[in-house]
Amino acid sequence: MMAASPDDSLRPRVGLIYDERMCRHTTPDGEAHPECPERIRAIWKKLESEGIPRRCVLLNARKVEDKYLASVHTQNHIELIKNISSKEFDSRRQKIASELDSIYLNVGSSEAAYLAAGSVIEASEKVAKGDLNSVIAIVRPPGHHAESNEAMGFCLFNNVAIAANYLLNEKPELGIKKILIVDWDVHHGNGTQKMFYKDPRVLFFSVHRFDFGDFYPSGDDGAYCMIGEGPGAGYNINVPWEHGQCSDADYIAVWDHVLIPIAKEYNPDIILVSAGFDAAIDDPLGGCCVTPHGYSLLLQKLMQFAQGKIVMVLEGGYNLKSIANSVLACAKVLLQEESVGSIQTATFKSTWRVIEAVRHELKGYWPVLDVELPQNLLITNSRPCPAEVTYSSSESDVENDEGTARTINFSDFVEDDVLLPLSKLKIDEELVTSNEIVDGYITWRSLLSKVEVWYASFGSNMWMPRFLCYIEGGKVEGMSAPCCGSLDKSSPKDVIWKIVPHRLLFGRSHTRTWGAGGVAFLDPERSTSDKAYLCMYRITLEQFNDVLLQENSLHQENGIIKQMASPLLDLHILEYVAKNKSLPLKTLKDGWYSTVLYLGKEDDLPILTMTCSASDVERFKSGELPASVPAKDYMNTLVNGLVEGKQLTREEAVAYVNGAATWKL
Ligand code: Q9C
Ligand code: ZN
């Protein structure tokens, strides 16, 4: 018997479904078509070449039973797809297909359609049961355009809708009560939307190219005002792009500001992804440019929900290389073999406009959306829309078969802008919570790198070499673990000392950095009988954010350095801190240094520091949290700081620290 490698039990169990029989659905006369058998062959070949199948569990494709089709499709439609490949239909097949919208049919079509739908059921059941963590179903024909009584858009049966129905109605014992369907195919998932329009048990989310109704499947179904009906109101979410060329940044912005907050609230039991890869870079139909890395980020951000129960189902995607690379990137994410970093492109202005419109439309149903977006998102690095830059149809570098480029009125884009003057900002604590720590988002950095603040240290950071660990990374003597440092590693522009009338407190008996010993905090309240030494470093607000993150030990998870989607402290929150002197950041509520203090100004720059929560201060003062004398390494660092900073002699420094540490009410 082969010994299991030590991490086999830790590796997520990922299923794969692929079956050559789904390649037998072809154009009858062999003419070229984007939805071709090579699509799934190319994907499978790519996965094989990377050794993915042997790291996965291979599932058998199976044909769907008619009774499971019946809750989604009409009897009429089922009969048609069942019989269409039979001999009796040989003469009529082409005519039937030609009367449908974007459909071809041949002798292999029925079997492929039955296998695609059945395979997605099989995949969903395995994941719902918990036998597997996730599955990738490499199926065709695709499904999301198929309506109850209508094959269209290369789709015969609606594979994902059939599986969702199966879980909810046929297998209640699996305990799946809420399903999130994420449709990131570049086309609107009109079929799926219709099936669950009045059903709150399925939250259907689709992000798609819309072009104001001109992009396939065209019409109004994909508009953001289509939010569901009756009990399903609020459970249908459309994010309609105004134009092509959307990239990773646009999709990530929609994830961060629409899908993820709603998914947190909805708390699905399983996620089905209608994973078309026709928004991928170089797709001949989509005209967008999402990279494999972008797709892997989108998928990774979904893995925090439903205990990672994800079924990824192929829909469209017509560039063989792009779809193969994208599916590969997603497989690595599901296998947790890839740590996904940040993205490079900028978000379109139109994307913020669409996001704001969607949030506005849905905020009555999802209170998390009833908060203004952090405005720095809107003014940093936004790309003008393609329509603003150039728009002559001959010059359009986007190749697509989806109608020709329209002349768009310039003023539509320039006048109606999402940017609000800063003075119109409503700043409240809700805004603070909207700044979440998520991977892969860096546009705020360029803005905050232009703002300087004084970071006032009163603990071990008073010793410059120790503080520099937060900037440059690394560690100094006595520290048990190295710091990751800030993204911007440039040194403080200036260092000055100041004495302030605040009480220094030492508590907490153990830290990750120093081991046993005390940790310094500052009482936000001023009192003339107290004094604390502050060593102040002039750094950028961007760097301050990175320091704040490290001080709260939130900079990494599972050994992976985190990127902040948006800053913990942006300009508007800074304004708020300055006004209120002290501000607990909800995003940091589990950290020891969750409160930002404003200690006035120096050279017209704000002085900021961080301390524990107000309730912890009270608990220190009341003795409920014991004071704790700094242990040797930590004490040395404090003393070094005060001595090298020429504030105190060694003896005075020791007395200062001991005095603060043994202070009683
Ligand atoms: N002028 C999927 O991606 N295009 N279907 C028709 C007519 C149809 C795409 C163009 C595109 C269907 C699953
Ligand atoms: Zn598509």
DSSP 233-286: TTSEEEEEESSS--BHHHHHHHIIIIIHHHHHHH--SEEEEEE--TTBTT-TTT
Per-residue pLDDT, 376: 57
286 close to ligand 1 (CB < 6 Angstrom): no
Q: Which of 35, 36, 154 to mutate to test the pocket of ligand 1 (most atoms within 8 A of CB)?
A: 154
In whole angstroms, what is the distance from residue 397 CA to residue 217 CA?
A: 22
Helices in 316-455 by DSSP H: which ranges?
A: 320-334, 349-362, 375-379, 386-389, 410-414, 429-433, 443-448
Count Cα atoms within 13 angstroms, Cβ side, for 522. Answer: 28
Helices in 581-631 by DSSP H: which ranges?
A: 614-622
183 close to ligand 1 (CB < 6 Angstrom): no
Say if residue 355 is in the same domain as residue 496.
Answer: no
Average pLDDT for 103-118? 98
Per-residue pLDDT, 349: 84
What is the number of the ligand 1 atom nearest to the C-alpha of 101?
6
Prediction pTM value: 0.63
145 close to ligand 1 (CB < 6 Angstrom): yes
* Sign of the alpha-carbon dihedral angle for 577, 580, 585, 589: positive
Say if residue 501 is in the same domain as residue 364.
Answer: no
Kindly report the CATH number assigned to the domain that includes residue 586: 3.10.490.10
Per-residue pLDDT, 108: 98
CA of 47 to the centre of ligand 2 (A): 22
Exposure pattern of 212-232 as b/e (b: 16+ CB <10 Å)? eeebbbbeebbbbebbbeeeb
Count Cα atoms within 13 angstroms, Cβ side, for 265. Answer: 16
Q: Which of 285, 400, 404 to mutate to test the pocket of ligand 1 (most atoms within 8 A of CB)?
A: 285
CA-wise closest residue to 243 among 76, 66, 384: 384
Per-residue pLDDT, 308: 96
361 close to ligand 1 (CB < 6 Angstrom): no
160 alpha carbon, closest ligand:
1
39 alpha carbon, closest ligand:
1
Per-residue pLDDT, 248: 93
Which of the four pLDDT bands, split at 50, 70 and 90, describes residue 79? very high
**At 214, phi and psi to the nearest 5?**
-90, -15
Cβ atoms 201, 168 nearer than 8 A:
yes
CA of 399 to the centre of ligand 2 (A): 15
153 close to ligand 1 (CB < 6 Angstrom): yes
Residues 6+ apart with CB under 8 A from 20: none
Q: Which of 216, 278, 315, 400 to mutate to test the pocket of ligand 1 (most atoms within 8 A of CB)?
A: 216
Q: Is residue 224 part of a domain?
A: yes
In whole angstroms, what is the distance from residue 254 CA to residue 236 CA?
A: 15
What is the number of the ligand 1 atom nearest to the C-alpha of 145?
13
What is the number of the ligand 1 atom nearest to the C-alpha of 154?
5
155 alpha carbon, closest ligand:
1
Per-residue pLDDT, 427: 27
CA of 233 to the centre of ligand 2 (A): 25
Q: In this structure, are strands 202-209 and 236-241 parallel, antiparallel, or unpaired?
A: parallel
Average pLDDT for 220-247? 96
208 close to ligand 1 (CB < 6 Angstrom): no
Q: Is residue 432 part of a domain?
A: no
CB-CB neighbours of 38 under 10 Å: 11
**Would you say residue 594 has pLDDT above 90?**
no
Per-residue pLDDT, 378: 54
Which of the four pLDDT bands, split at 50, 70 and 90, describes residue 586? confident
Tokens of 435: 């700044």
Say if residue 453 is in the same domain as residue 371.
Answer: no
Per-residue pLDDT, 575: 82
494 vs 357, 452, 454, 464, 491, CA distance in Å?
Answer: 44, 11, 9, 11, 9
Minimal-distance CA residue to ligand 1 atom 1 = 402
Say if residue 364 is in the same domain as residue 448.
Answer: no
Q: Is residue 436 part of a domain?
A: no
217 close to ligand 1 (CB < 6 Angstrom): no
Q: Which of 36, 104, 145 to mutate to test the pocket of ligand 1 (most atoms within 8 A of CB)?
A: 145
Q: What is the CA radius of gyration of the chain?
A: 29
Least confident of 277-286, 313-322, 424-433, 525-534: 424-433
Which of the four pLDDT bands, split at 50, 70 and 90, describes residue 188? very high
Domain limits for position 610? 444-556+563-661
**Would you say residue 299 has pLDDT above 90?**
yes
Say if residue 494 is in the same domain as residue 372.
Answer: no
Per-residue pLDDT, 543: 95
Between these two residues, 257 and 2, which has the higher pLDDT value? 257
Q: Is residue 412 part of a domain?
A: no
Mean pLDDT of the chain: 86
Q: Is residue 216 part of a domain?
A: yes
Per-residue pLDDT, 409: 26
Minimal-distance CA residue to ligand 1 atom 13 = 316
**Would you say residue 570 has pLDDT above 90?**
no
Least confident of 144-158, 169-183, 366-380, 460-474: 366-380
Per-residue pLDDT, 295: 97
Per-residue pLDDT, 265: 97
CA-wise closest residue to 108 among 50, 191, 185, 40: 40
Average pLDDT for 338-360? 84
Hey, which bits of 402-526 come out as E strands? 452-457, 495-500, 502-507, 510-511, 515-516, 519-526
Give percent of the chain above pLDDT 90.
66
Minimal-distance CA residue to ligand 1 atom 7 = 402
**At 372, phi and psi to the nearest 5?**
-70, 145
Say if residue 56 is in the same domain as residue 172.
Answer: yes
Per-residue pLDDT, 136: 98
Count Cα atoms within 13 angstroms, Cβ side, for 19. Answer: 24
pLDDT for 404-460, tens place per residue?
322 222 222 222 222 222 222 222 222 222 332 333 333 577 778 888 999 999 999
Q: Is residue 117 part of a domain?
A: yes
Residues 6+ apart with CB under 8 A from 157: 64, 69, 72, 73, 81, 113, 114, 116, 117, 141, 143, 146
Between these two residues, 233 and 481, which has the higher pLDDT value? 233
Which position has the token pair 């961080």?
610
Say if residue 249 is in the same domain as residue 363.
Answer: yes
- Could you list the active site residues? 145
401 close to ligand 1 (CB < 6 Angstrom): yes
Say if residue 526 is in the same domain as residue 647.
Answer: yes
Between these two residues, 360 and 437, which has the higher pLDDT value? 360
CB-CB neighbours of 501 under 10 Å: 12
Per-residue pLDDT, 614: 86
What is the number of the ligand 1 atom nearest to the C-alpha of 403?
1
**Would you say residue 182 has pLDDT above 80?**
yes
Say if residue 355 is in the same domain as residue 465.
Answer: no
Q: Which of 187, 193, 283 to mutate to test the pocket of ligand 1 (most atoms within 8 A of CB)?
A: 187
Per-residue pLDDT, 141: 98
104 close to ligand 1 (CB < 6 Angstrom): no
- Helices and strands, counts by H and E, the chain: 23, 20
Q: Is residue 272 part of a domain?
A: yes
154 close to ligand 1 (CB < 6 Angstrom): yes
CA of 385 to the centre of ligand 1 (A): 24
Say if residue 371 is in the same domain as residue 448.
Answer: no
Q: In this structure, are strands 556-557 and 560-561 parallel, antiparallel, or unpaired?
A: antiparallel
pLDDT for 257-279, tens place per residue?
999 999 999 999 999 999 999 99
Q: Is residue 576 part of a domain?
A: yes
Say if residue 154 is in the same domain as residue 66.
Answer: yes
DSSP 389-404: H---GGG-----SSSP
Per-residue pLDDT, 423: 28
Minimal-distance CA residue to ligand 1 atom 2 = 316
185 close to ligand 1 (CB < 6 Angstrom): yes
User: What's the domain count of the chain?
Assistant: 2
Minimal-distance CA residue to ligand 1 atom 6 = 102
What is the number of the ligand 1 atom nearest to the C-alpha of 142?
13
Which of the four pLDDT bands, split at 50, 70 and 90, describes residue 555? low
Say if residue 653 is in the same domain as residue 529.
Answer: yes
Per-residue pLDDT, 414: 23
Per-residue pLDDT, 625: 79
Per-residue pLDDT, 339: 66
Minimal-distance CA residue to ligand 1 atom 3 = 316
